[in-house]
Amino acid sequence: MLYRKPLNKLRKFLRKQGFLRVGVFSAFFLGTVLYSWIALSQQPVTLNLLMTAPDAQPWQQGIVRDFEAKNPDIRINIIEGPNATNLLEDLYTSAFILGDSPYDLINMDVIWTPKFAAAGWLVDLTDRMSPEELAAFSSADIEGSRYEGRLYRIPMRSDVGMLYYRTDLLEQAGLEPPETFADLIQVSQTLQQKDLVNWGYVWQGRQYEGLVAMFIEVLEGFGGFWVNPENLEVGLDRPETVQAIAFLKDTIRQGISPPGVTTYQEEETRRFFQSGQVAFLRNWPYVWPLAQEEGSPLQGRIAIKPMVGSAGRTGGASLGGWGLGISTSTRHPEEAWRAIQYFTSEEAQKNFVLNAGFVPSRRALFTDPEIVAEYPHYPQLLEVVQQAVLRPPIAQYAQTSDILQRYLSAALTNRMSAEQAMQAAANETRRLLNRG
């Protein structure tokens, strides 16, 4: 009996201790959960963005770093894809078709807008920007961002096909820059005969999207057309298309363009031109700063002009360009919109243009003093951009382009005659468009 009391006390004490331990443990556990939850909720949101590998570099160097410094709650994860717009489009497309696409932002070529919008893969941005804000962009870029009257993409940079030429060679030979296709052939031959240069002209002849972007310029220069987006009329089996192909084939046949030109994309032609072996190049504005950089044999020796046309006609300029859209599958649409606002802002574009030589989509930047000091040809470029030709903005663009790429390539590499190839391309395109 005597030892009972202290024993009870001890039991009570231990029980208390137990409660205490459970209490301490629970508080610790809850604290940890709370802490991790707070920590997790403060983790920056990551936005995934896929783009071609050469584009990734200027993004990573400047504007992404600046954006993240200003927005510590958002990280931009750039994924480097293949260097061809159609291959990149395939990657985006398969991700959307499989569902649960990992991409929050979409860096979109101007030609993708109708297809992606029609498929329901893009957030409608129409109410996000006022008409006054939109008016600051070049109208062709905004048109290329709409589908059925709604806006799905904000232009980040424009692009326009043009003709580069060697001013030093023309001066040496006492020649003027060409105005027509015939001039281009003639001047090239003269420069080659005088042994001033190995080749006359390089263009993108490989079977891919760049072939079509280049071809519509020549087609426009001959007065032809591909598909009229208003009524889906197809113009490929008209004589102008055959003339346009004949011009390109002539450049190879006459030794003005190397036979390998039918395997070249933009970068192969740019490197060839930059090595000093060619007098004329068809390409986009990104070539300019590369050709003018320290150590380039072309520094101070090149100029640009709009693509030539047939006698009496001005040449065509293909409208390219890239813009940003938001994927409907993103869990972070607000953060994605903040990123778009920054990347398409005047500040970010200016930085991007000065670094990478891209063409702005904001009109004011074409005449910005700092930009003009670096690129004196930009004010003139705005006119070219405004008059540039859109590849047909239709939802079936990817298949339409694929048909033309295949038959054009067959004609250029002599696997089919131009007439046969274009008749087949026209028939296939009509079948596709009538179906859809």
Q: Which stretch binds ligand GLC (CB under 6 A): 8-16, 109-117, 253-261, 267-275?
A: 109-117
Between residues 211 and 416, which has the closer beta carbon with respect to ligand GLC? 211
141 in contact with ligand GLC (CB under 6 A): no
Q: Which stretch binds ligand GLC (CB under 6 A): 194-202, 205-213, 239-247, 398-406?
A: 205-213
CA angle 214, 219, 222 (to 5 degrees): 135
Residue 295 φ/ψ region, left for φ over 0, alpha for ψ in the -120 to 50 degree band, beta for the rest: left
**Rounded distance, CA 234 to CA 28, Å?**
73
**Rounded distance, CA 14 to CA 96, Å?**
62
H/E stretch holding 122: none
Between residues 269 and 327, which has the closer beta carbon with respect to ligand GLC? 269
89 in contact with ligand GLC (CB under 6 A): no
Question: Applying CB under 6 A, which of residues 85, 138, 251, 429 lies at the interface with ligand GLC?
Answer: 85
H/E stretch holding 80: strand 74-81
Question: Applying CB under 6 A, which of residues 110, 191, 278, 356 lies at the interface with ligand GLC?
Answer: 110
What are the residue ranges of helices labelled H in 180-265? 181-193, 209-221, 239-253
**Rounded distance, CA 361 to CA 338, Å?**
18
Question: Applying CB under 6 A, which of residues 58, 114, 210, 258 lies at the interface with ligand GLC?
Answer: 210
Q: Which residues contact 268 (CB under 8 A, 6 or more apart)?
A: none
Give the total of residues touching ligand GLC (CB under 6 A).
13
- Are 229 and 392 in contact by the 8 Å Cβ rule? The answer is yes
- CB of 284 vs ligand GLC, minimal distance in Å: 5
Question: Applying CB under 6 A, which of residues 49, 111, 125, 151 lies at the interface with ligand GLC?
Answer: 111
Q: Which stretch binds ligand GLC (CB under 6 A): 15-23, 191-199, 207-215, 222-230?
A: 207-215
Between residues 67 and 284, which has the closer beta carbon with respect to ligand GLC? 284
H/E stretch holding 166: strand 162-166
- CB of 393 vs ligand GLC, minimal distance in Å: 12
- CB of 151 vs ligand GLC, minimal distance in Å: 18
284 in contact with ligand GLC (CB under 6 A): yes
Which of 250, 155, 266 minimizes the C-alpha distance to 214?
A: 266
Tokens standing for residue 314:
């001005």
**Rounded distance, CA 353 to CA 66, Å?**
15
**Which single residue is written with the structure tokens 């054009």?**
408
Residue nearest to ligand GLC (CB): 320
109 in contact with ligand GLC (CB under 6 A): yes
CA angle 425, 430, 435 (to 5 degrees): 130
Q: Which stretch binds ligand GLC (CB under 6 A): 105-113, 372-380, 393-401, 408-416?
A: 105-113
Between residues 310 and 318, which has the closer beta carbon with respect to ligand GLC? 318
Q: Which stretch binds ligand GLC (CB under 6 A): 104-112, 170-178, 220-228, 415-423?
A: 104-112
159 in contact with ligand GLC (CB under 6 A): yes
Q: Which residues contact 382 (CB under 8 A, 6 or more apart)?
A: 138, 363, 366, 367
Phi, psi at 148, each rounded to 5°: 45, 45
Q: Residues 350-389 vs ligand GLC: string with x where CB under 6 A?
A: ----------------------------------------
In one-letter notation, the amino acid at residue 160 is: V
Q: Which stretch binds ligand GLC (CB under 6 A): 61-69, 125-133, 317-325, 326-334?
A: 317-325
- Are 425 and 408 in contact by the 8 Å Cβ rule? The answer is yes
320 in contact with ligand GLC (CB under 6 A): yes
Q: Residues 391-430 vs ligand GLC: string with x where CB under 6 A?
A: ----------------------------------------
- Are 405 and 391 in contact by the 8 Å Cβ rule? The answer is no
Helix, strand, or coil (residue 10): helix
| Beta carbons within 10 angstroms of residue 311's beta carbon | 9
Q: Residues 243-272 vs ligand GLC: string with x where CB under 6 A?
A: -----------------------x------
Q: Which residues form the interface with ligand GLC (CB under 6 A)? A: 85, 109-111, 159, 209-210, 213, 266, 284, 320-322
